[in-house]
Amino acid sequence: MKIEHLQGLISAPFSPLNAEGELDLDIIPAYYAFLKHNGVTGAFINGSTGEGVSLTLNEKKLIAEAWAKASNHDPDFKVMAFLGGTCLADCIDLARHAQAAGLYAVSLTSPFYFKPANVGMLAESCIAVASAVPDMPFYYYHIPVLTGGNFSMFELLKALDGKIDNLAGIKYTHEDFMDFQSCISFKNGKYDMLWGRDENMLSALALGTKGAVGSTFNYAAPLYHEMIAAFDNNNFGKAQQLQQKSIDMIRLLGKYGGIATGKAYMKLVGVNCGEFRLPVANMTVDQFESFKLDVSELGFDDFRSTAPAANL
């Protein structure tokens, strides 16, 4: 399989839920159009931002089908499905379903209850799942802060290289820049390394990354497009300022309780994805009013994503 190196901003979409906390799939076609309008080149569905670990197996399949239908094999918009990582049989089932639905790629993270004892066991897990869809690009998803699988990705690439032909690369959501650089350089840049930390994306650009997957691309894509353009034009001062703006925006997630704050940002750009499921905490009404004031002080309207002409 020829490994494609993806470029640009790949969004990690929120799973839209209604007032009863059930899937609201009708939002997804407009969500896709919204992301396309803002220059986003793909969607990494059912991941951390998409509450994949809080969705049932059937719900994950329904979301995959909805995104496949909405994007309709758009060659300029790659939809990648996160499979989970606890029950490998379920992951294989989801991978085969994603392939049948016509999605671009699948991604597996480290099992996070019974954890792999070493890189070798993690590699075996990857091989078991990737081999079930040999004609579909397979990405490993490195996010040790949530999985506890804090292994060297350079060592994982060495363990997997030549073992599965559909290994496309790694979605790298960690701060080990030495390891990330080694992965980029491995076999003369053979594998696609997608950056996953929006708050230090500028550092990853300096190391050579061309593609990134992030939650804040949902609602602030123009900020990152501008930062990438500044970096490409050697305007490093401006790029640093824009990265700091990103950091200031992301700090509000911590102030207002964490990942669910992203859905509050989405309400401000006109895409109401509901709230997060338990055990994640959501904002109170009073907190949301305070949040809107903080967002205004950031100058959010200057870099927020905007709706296409046909309003959502």
What per-residue confidence (pLDDT) applies to 194? 98
Q: How many CB atoms lie within 10 A of CB 168?
A: 26
> Mean pLDDT for the chain?
96
Band the pLDDT of 309: cuts 50, 70, 90: confident
DSSP state of 9: E
pLDDT at 7 over 50: yes
User: Which residues neighbour 184 within 8 Å (Cβ) at sequence distance 6 or greater?
Assistant: 193, 207, 208, 209
What per-residue confidence (pLDDT) applies to 312? 47
Residue whose tokens read 């820049």:
177
> What percent of the chain clears pLDDT 90, i.e. is strictly above it?
96
- Predicted confidence (pLDDT) per residue in 141-193, tens digit: 999 999 999 999 999 999 999 999 999 999 999 999 999 999 999 999 999 99
The catalytic position among 104, 141, 191, 256 is: 141
The catalytic position among 171, 172, 219, 265 is: 171
Q: Please name the helix (run of DSSP H) or strand (run of DSSP E) that holds residue 297, with its range, or none.
A: helix 285-298
Task: Look up the pTM and report it.
Answer: 0.96
Q: Is 245 a catalytic residue?
A: no
DSSP state of 23: B
Band the pLDDT of 1: cuts 50, 70, 90: confident
Distance in Å from the first CA to the final CA of the chain: 38
User: Which residues neighbour 294 within 8 Å (Cβ) at sequence distance 6 or greater?
Assistant: 252, 255
- Predicted confidence (pLDDT) per residue in 118-142, tens digit: 999 999 999 999 999 999 999 999 9
What per-residue confidence (pLDDT) applies to 310? 59
Q: Is 139 a catalytic residue?
A: no
User: Which residues neighbour 185 within 8 Å (Cβ) at sequence distance 6 or greater?
Assistant: none
CB 35 within 8 A of CB 43: yes
Q: What phi and psi values does residue 204 have, to the nearest 5 degrees?
A: -70, -35
Q: Name the token pair of 277.
A: 């499921």
